[in-house]
Structure 1
C-alpha cells in the first residue's frame, strides 16, 4: 500500500503561463507535457463513493494504469490518502489484481462489493506538465494540469474546467511540500488551496 501526499492548488487560468515560467526558472527545465485520459467507475448507486474511495483507468503515453484510492483527508490543500496503482493490459479493469494488492480491509470489501455492478461514471481529460523539484533533500513532482471533467447525463455532456497545480511528495519530508507551495504562492497571485479531488469534482458534476 502506498500513501500519496500532495498539495493541490487551484490555479487561475490567467496565471497558467506565469506558473509555467516560474517552474521553468526554478528547475531550469521546460517541463514534460503528457496527455492523460482518465475513466472513473462506480456502481449506479455509488457504492465506492459511499465508502469514500475512487476507482479509475488512466491512459498514459506508456500504456494503461488502474488506480484505487481512498478519499483520505484533505486540509489546506494537502491531500493524504491510500493508493494502489498498477499497469493493466488495456482499457479494462483487472479487479482481482487490485484486490490482491489492497491491504486495507474496508476498502477491499467496498471494491469487492462494487465489482459486479461497475459502470463508467465520468472522465477527466487533461494535459499535465511535469517538473521534478529538489528542495532541502526532498523530491517533489510538480504538475500543472489543464483540461476538463466530463460527464454524460441524460444524453447531454456536462463539463467543468480543470486548472490546478499539484505538488506530490516523492521522497523526503512533507515540510518540503509546504515550503514549495509557499514559495510558489509568493510569486503567483490567486493560488488557493483546493481540498476537492478530481474524482470528487466528477461526482459533483454528475450530480448537477
Structure 2
C-alpha cells in the first residue's frame, strides 16, 4: 500500500497553457533534477454496486487503461489533512480491463465489504477520460509529481469537465508541496480543491454537494477554523460546478467567520480578499465567474491558510 498525499488545484481551462509553460520553465532551470515526462491519455472505469456500497464505505475501485496496459486501483477515503488529499492506495497490473477481486484479499477493507459478496453486483458507474501532462520536480530535497489533467467525467446522468493540477508528494517534506504551490499560484490563478474525480462521478448521479460537518459547542477554536476553511473551499468549487455566482455570498460569510480564528496577519489577508470579492460582485456583473476564476489572490490566500492550519494541527 502507498499513502497518496497531494494538493489538488482548480484551474480554468484558459490558464492551462501558462501553467504548463511555467512548469516547463521550472524543469529547464533545474536541469537534471526535474523533468517533463511523456503526456498520457488515461481511460478509467469506476465500479460500484447499484446501491453504492463502495461509495458509502469510502472506497473507490477502478480499472485504468494507459499505454496498452491495465491497472486496477483501490483507494480509501484516508485521513483528513485540511485541504489536502491523504488516501490509502493499492495498485495491481492486470491482463485486461476486467476486475480481479481476488487481489483485494490483501487489502484491509472496511468491515461492510470484507466478504466480497458485493463483487457479483458491480457495474461501471462512471468513467473519467483525460489527457495528463506530467512533470517530476525536485525542490529542497523533496520529490514531487505535478500533473495537469484535462478531460471529462461521464456517467448515465451526464458529464462534468476535468480541469485541474495535482501536486503529489513522492518523498521528502510535505511543507514543500505548499511552498511549490505558492510559487505556482503567484504565476497562474489556481484554487485549492477537495473534490476528487471519483467524487465528481458520484455527484453526477446524486447532484449533491458534500459539506463539512459543523462542530458543536464543545469544539475548539481550531475545529471551527478548519470548518470555515473547508466550507470556503466547498462553496468555491460548487460555485463553478453549479455555474451560480450567488454562492459568493456564503463564500464571503465563510471568510468573515474564518478570519476570527486566524493569526492577525492571515486575518488581514482573508478580510482583504473578502472585500475584493465584494467589489468584484458589483463591478463584473456580466462576467463574474471568469473574473473569479482568474483572481490570483484567492488561491494564494487559500494556500496560506491551508498551510497555517496544517502546521497548527501538527503542534
Change (3 A) 1:76 1:114: same
1:136 is displaced (CA, Å) by 0.8
Specify the alignment match of 1:71 in structure 2. 77
CA contact (8 A) 2:36 2:136 kept: no
Equivalent in the alignment of 2:173: 173
Deviations 1:22-46 (A, max 9, x none): 0000012555210000000000000
Task: Describe how 1:152-163 pairs up with structure 2 within 5 A.
Answer: 152-153=156-157, 158-163=158-163
User: Does the residue aligned with 2:7 lie in a helix, a strand or coil?
Assistant: strand
The root-mean-square deviation of aligned C-alpha atoms, in Å, is 1.7
Counterpart CA distance in 1 for 2:115 and 2:147 is: 29
**Greater length-normalized contact order (CA 8 Å, ≥ 6 residues apart):** 1
Moved over 6 A (4+): none
Cα contact 1:4–1:81 (8 A) shared by 2: yes
Give the structure with the higher percent strand. 1
Deviation of 1:186 (Å): 1.0
- 2:202 corresponds in structure 1 to 203
The 5 A counterparts of 1:34-113 are: 34-75=40-81, 77-100=83-106, 102=107, 104-106=108-110, 109=113, 112-113=116-117
SS at match of 1:38: strand
TM-score of the two chains, using structure 2 as the length reference: 0.61
Match of 1:132 among 124, 133, 136: 136
1:144 to 139, 143, 148: 148
Q: Please state whether the residue corresponding to 1:15 is helix, strand or coil.
A: helix
Number of aligned pairs?
A: 201
Task: Tell me the equivalent position of 2:230.
Answer: none
Counterpart Cα distance in 2 of 1:108 and 1:2 = 22
Q: Would you tell me which structure has more helix in proportion to its own residues?
A: 2
TM-score, structure 1 normalization: 0.91
Bigger radius of gyration: 2
User: Cα offset for 1:182?
Assistant: 1.1
Aligned equivalents of 2:115, 2:63: Cα separation in 1:
14
Question: 1:70 & 1:144 partners in 2: Cα distance?
Answer: 23
Shift of 1:74: 5.0
The question of whether the paired residues in 2 share the 8 Å contact of 1:128 and 1:144 is answered with yes
